[in-house]
């Protein structure tokens, strides 16, 4: 299997990086020009559309996988989630014991484990090499 990078993903990620750098420069310099609000609103809309696109793309690529690969990724997701949840809970317990009453430590563990397990899915498409 050979992994091929999608051109549309490259364009979307390049646009994200360039607009993020521009937004950071605008925030650092305190730019409050006439187009600042429009740029920020466009950036947020772009982020939402890009997130939806990557999620749909990931689901399409996951449907193409066989059951063994799906089971392997699901096991990796659950094990990473449990490990990161335990680490986050212990760090919160030792460093911020007063704030340890909520389940907020689960959200970062869920995001990291989901990203770590399925990150390559929307960015690459696998093609069988022809021998």
Please give the model's pTM, rounded to 2 decimal places: 0.63
Name residue, tokens 């890009």: 50
CB-based contacts of 2: which residues, under 8 Å, 6+ apart? 126, 127, 128, 129
- In tens, the pLDDT along 56-86 reads 888 887 788 888 888 888 899 899 999 998 9
How far apart CA 23 and CA 35 sit, in angstroms, is 12
pLDDT of residue 24: 92
pLDDT of residue 1: 47
Residue 3 has pLDDT above 70, yes or no: no
Q: Per the structure block, which two tokens stand in for 67? A: 């059951």
- In tens, the pLDDT along 95-105 reads 877 766 677 77
- In tens, the pLDDT along 7-64 reads 777 888 888 999 999 999 988 888 888 888 898 899 999 999 988 888 888 888 778 8
Mean pLDDT over residues 101-121, rounded?
78
């Amino acid at each position: 299997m050979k992994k091929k990078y999608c051109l549309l993903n490259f364009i979307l990620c390049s646009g994200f990086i360039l607009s993020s750098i521009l937004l950071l420069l605008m925030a650092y310099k305190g730019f409050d020009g006439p187009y600042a609000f429009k740029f920020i609103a466009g950036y947020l809309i772009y982020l939402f559309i890009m997130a939806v696109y990557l999620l749909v793309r990931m689901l399409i690529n996951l449907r193409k996988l066989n059951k063994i690969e799906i089971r392997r990724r699901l096991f990796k997701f659950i094990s990473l989630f449990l490990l990161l949840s335990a680490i986050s809970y212990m760090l919160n317990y030792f460093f911020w014991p007063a704030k340890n009453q909520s389940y907020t430590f689960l959200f970062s563990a869920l995001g990291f484990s989901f990203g770590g397990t399925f990150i390559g899915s929307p960015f690459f498409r696998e093609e069988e090499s022809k021998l």
